[in-house]
C-alpha cells in the first residue's frame, strides 16, 4: 500500500511539473510575440493590430528632426521597396550614432488608435559593414 501512495505522489508531482512548464512556455510565447512588418504591410494592416509591432524600413531624407530638450527624434520611415509608402515615427530615447537619412532601421512600438504617428520604444540601425561583403583586391 505504501508503494501505491508513493507512485501516486510521483504522478501528481510530475503532472504539476509538466503543467508549470507548459504555463511558462505559453505565457512566454504570448507576451513576446511581435509582428515584424515592412512599412507597406503596416499601412495595409488595421490600426487595432498595430499596438505592438516591429517595423523595418529606411529613414527618409526629409522630415528628420531631433527633439528639443530631450533625447529622441521624429522622422518618416519609408518602405525599402516602395518609397512612396511612409509612416511618421516618434522615438524618445538615445539615438544611435549611425542614425541618418538613408539608413535602414528596425523600430519596435505601436500605433495608438486614431493617431497617425508610430510611437517607437526601441530604435536599431542596420550597420552596413556587418551585412555587406568586403571587396578585397
Domain positions in the chain are 1-33, 34-129
Average pLDDT over residues 1-18: 80
Report the distance separating Cα 76 and Cα 103, nearest Å: 12
Q: 92 pLDDT band (50/70/90 cuts)?
A: very high
| pLDDT at 42 (0 to 100) | 86
Query: pLDDT for 54-73, tens place per residue?
Result: 999 999 999 889 988 889 99
- Report the percent of the chain where pLDDT is more than 70: 84
| Spatial separation of the C-alpha atoms in residues 101 and 39, rounded to whole Å | 16
Radius of gyration of the CA atoms of the chain, in A: 23
- Architecture per CATH, domain 34-129, reads as Beta Barrel (2.40)
If one compares 137 and 95, the residue with the highest pLDDT of the two is 95
Rounded CA gap, 121 and 63, in Å?
Answer: 20
Convert the pLDDT of each residue in 107-131 to its tens digit. Answer: 999 887 778 899 999 999 977 655 5
pLDDT classification of 46: cutoffs 50, 70, 90: confident
Query: pTM (2 decimals)?
Result: 0.68
**Alpha helices by DSSP H, the chain:** 2-32, 39-44, 128-131
Amino acid at each position: 500500500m505504501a508503494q501505491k501512495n508513493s507512485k501516486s505522489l510521483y504522478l501528481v508531482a510530475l503532472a504539476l511539473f509538466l503543467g508549470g512548464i507548459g504555463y511558462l512556455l505559453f505565457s512566454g510565447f504570448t507576451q513576446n510575440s511581435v509582428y515584424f512588418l515592412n512599412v507597406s504591410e503596416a499601412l495595409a494592416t488595421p490600426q487595432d493590430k498595430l499596438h505592438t509591432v516591429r517595423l523595418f524600413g529606411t529613414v527618409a531624407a526629409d522630415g528628420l528632426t531631433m527633439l528639443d530638450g530631450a533625447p529622441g527624434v521624429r522622422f518618416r520611415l519609408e518602405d525599402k521597396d516602395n518609397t512612396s509608402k511612409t509612416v511618421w515615427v516618434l522615438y524618445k530615447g538615445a539615438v544611435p550614432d549611425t542614425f541618418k537619412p538613408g539608413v535602414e532601421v528596425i523600430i519596435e512600438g505601436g500605433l495608438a488608435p486614431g493617431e497617425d504617428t508610430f510611437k517607437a520604444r526601441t530604435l536599431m540601425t542596420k550597420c552596413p559593414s556587418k551585412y555587406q561583403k568586403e571587396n578585397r583586391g
